[in-house]
């Protein structure tokens, strides 16, 4: 056995090191958990709606008791639309067009019928929809219609239906599994179309079809009816512009602000995770002190041995190395065990998250690995310096 180690391990206090080990383990684990959890959960709130351009607002008129009784309309007429388009903060504005005819549809997955209903479609001008043109394309008379479904449908299906009927859960990548049959009748025509679901939108609570299909079908199945839009879609340059709020308040409009909700939730998530991480960091720092104190104590108790080693020709580096190695080993084992425990914890909570939000990406442990490694490096480097410094104090006989 290494004689230097045999000498220097004298007075090592096992309880102290066990104390450090667990304190550091918990601290490290809490920090890594906080960071990893934040990264895993954040996409749930910030997932961009890949089908809609980012900075747009959906504006509708307030529906209150008074307007219901007075029969005041909640649709926008052309002058109102022009007025809105004329505002400085508006980059472009478009209106929602609804179907004027009756639609029956059924939705199935893997041949099992999930939903049968009479419903309606809406459309917005194509330049508000951010999908490759070849997917979002309709030519008059075609029997296949591209569709974007509200995400709530799929959530409902995944939770309410799929589980009880042992059907597969559907995520964004598996939209092709949905069969969507559309039956339209009006103006003496009756036809069957196939809906091709190209994705889900969490920001539009409506079934969206291409404007081209809407225009054509309204004309074909209900040539004589025409109604004003009750919702407008507006792209704005700067969503934080206060003129927007002023204008909307003045006109008595409403903005669907699900985006704001997500931001609030993200904010609280950030705050909670930061608090958790701070607690973890404090524990880590305290454990670092425990380690430094026990090493200092150890060096102090062994100072005459260390001095003798230096005097018979050992270099300070060689004498410091056993203690440095000790801290490196301790820190590495703490890091690895923290990673392993985190792996299992993450496996558990990701299972829950994936059931709740099947569309969420799997992610990876890279954030925890990186943060853990950085923490390990910082702590270890500081340990090395502190030990080296302590040994040099013995060399210069300062203690």
Partner 1 sequence: MKTINLNSVLPQVFAQRSDLNSEIWKQEVTFEKGHLYLIEADSGMGKSTFCSYIIGYRHDYSGNVTFDTQVTADFKVRDWVEVRKSHISHLFQELRLFPELSAFENVEIKNKITGFKSREQIVEWFDMLGIGDKLDAKIGRMSFGQQQRVAMIRALVQPFDFILADEPISHLDDTNSQIMGEIMMTEAQRQGAGVIVTSIGKHMDLSYEKTYRL
Count Cβ neighbours within 10 Å for each residue of 334-359 and write b for 16 or more, e otherwise.
bbeebbebbeeebeeebeebbeebbb
Compute the least distance from the CB of residue 312 to partner 1, in Å: 5
- Residue closer to partner 1 by CB (options 174, 310) is 310
Interacting residue ranges for partner 1, rule: CB under 8 A: 3-4, 6-7, 10, 305, 308-309, 311-316, 392, 395, 397
- Residue closer to partner 1 by CB (options 108, 316) is 316
SS3 144: strand
The answer to whether the CB of 49 falls within 8 A of the CB of 201 is yes
**Cα separation values, 153 from 31, 159, 165, 295, 325, Å:** 37, 10, 16, 60, 58
Read off the tokens for 250.
Answer: 């003045």
SS3 163: coil
Compute the least distance from the CB of residue 3 to partner 1, in Å: 4
- Residue closer to partner 1 by CB (options 113, 300) is 300
Compute the least distance from the CB of residue 23 to partner 1, in Å: 30
- Residue closer to partner 1 by CB (options 217, 324) is 324
Indicate if the alpha-carbon torsion angle 221, 226, 230, 232 is positive or negative: positive
Strand 189-201 vs strand 144-150: parallel, antiparallel, or unpaired?
parallel
Find the farthest-apart pair of alpha carbons in the chain and give their distance in angstroms, rounded. Answer: 108
- Residue closer to partner 1 by CB (options 127, 300) is 300
- Residue 47's CB is within 10 A of a number of other CB atoms, namely 16
Compute the least distance from the CB of residue 386 to partner 1, in Å: 18
* Rounded-to-integer distance, Cα 354 and Cα 344, Å: 15
Indicate if the alpha-carbon torsion angle 308, 312, 314, 316 is positive or negative: positive
Compute the least distance from the CB of residue 13 to partner 1, in Å: 16
- Residue closer to partner 1 by CB (options 335, 394) is 394
- Residue closer to partner 1 by CB (options 198, 299) is 299
| DSSP character string of 314-370 | --HHHHHHHHHHHHHHHHHHHHHHHHHHHHHHHHHHHHHHHHH-TTS----SHHHHH
Compute the least distance from the CB of residue 5 to partner 1, in Å: 11
- Residue 251's CB is within 10 A of a number of other CB atoms, namely 15
SS3 207: coil
- Residue closer to partner 1 by CB (options 7, 42) is 7
Compute the least distance from the CB of residue 326 to partner 1, in Å: 18
**Overall residue count recorded for the chain in this entry:** 399
- Who's near 358: CB < 8 A, 6+ residues apart? 154, 158, 169, 170, 171
Beta bridge partners of 48: none
Compute the least distance from the CB of residue 301 to partner 1, in Å: 12
- Residue closer to partner 1 by CB (options 216, 314) is 314
Compute the least distance from the CB of residue 324 to partner 1, in Å: 17
């Amino acid at each position: 056995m290494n004689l230097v180690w045999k000498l220097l391990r004298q007075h090592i206090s096992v309880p102290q090191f066990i104390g450090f080990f667990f304190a550091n383990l918990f601290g490290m684990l809490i920090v890594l958990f906080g960071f990893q959890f934040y990264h895993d959960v954040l996409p749930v709130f910030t997932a961009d709606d890949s089908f809609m351009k980012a900075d747009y607002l959906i504006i509708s008129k307030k529906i209150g008791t008074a307007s219901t009784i007075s029969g005041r309309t909640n649709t926008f007429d052309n002058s109102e639309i022009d007025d809105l388009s004329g505002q400085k903060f508006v980059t472009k504005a478009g209106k929602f067009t609804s179907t004027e005819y009756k639609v029956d549809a059924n939705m199935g997955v893997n041949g099992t019928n999930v939903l049968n209903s009479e419903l309606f479609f809406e459309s917005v001008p194509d330049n508000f929809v951010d999908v490759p043109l070849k997917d979002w394309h309709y030519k008059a008379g075609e029997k296949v219609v591209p569709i974007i479904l509200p995400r709530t449908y799929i959530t409902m299906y995944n939770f309410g239906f799929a589980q009880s009927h042992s059907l597969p859960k559907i995520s964004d990548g598996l939209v092709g599994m949905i069969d969507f049959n559309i039956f339209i009748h009006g103006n003496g025509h009756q036809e069957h179309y196939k809906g091709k679901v190209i994705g889900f939108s969490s920001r539009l609570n409506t079934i969206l079809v291409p404007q081209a299909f809407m225009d054509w079908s309204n004309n074909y199945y209900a040539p004589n009816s025409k109604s004003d839009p009750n919702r407008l879609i507006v792209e704005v340059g700067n969503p934080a512009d206060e003129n927007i709020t002023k204008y909307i308040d003045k006109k008595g409009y409403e903005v669907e602000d699900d985006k704001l909700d997500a931001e609030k939730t993200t904010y609280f998530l950030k705050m909670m995770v930061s608090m958790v991480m701070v607690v973890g960091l404090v524990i880590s720092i305290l454990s670092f002190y425990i380690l430094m104190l026990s090493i200092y104590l150890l060096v102090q108790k062994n100072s005459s041995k260390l001095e003798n080693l230096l005097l018979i020709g050992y270099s300070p580096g060689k004498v410091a190395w056993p203690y440095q190695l000790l801290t490196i080993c301790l820190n590495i084992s703490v890091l690895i065990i923290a990673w392993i425990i985190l792996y299992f914890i993450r496996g558990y909570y990701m299972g829950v998250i994936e059931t709740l939000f099947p569309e969420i990406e799997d992610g990876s442990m890279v954030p925890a690995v990186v943060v853990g490694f950085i923490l390990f490096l910082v702590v270890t480097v500081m340990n090395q310096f502190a030990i080296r410094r302590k040994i040099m104090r013995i060399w210069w006989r300062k203690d």
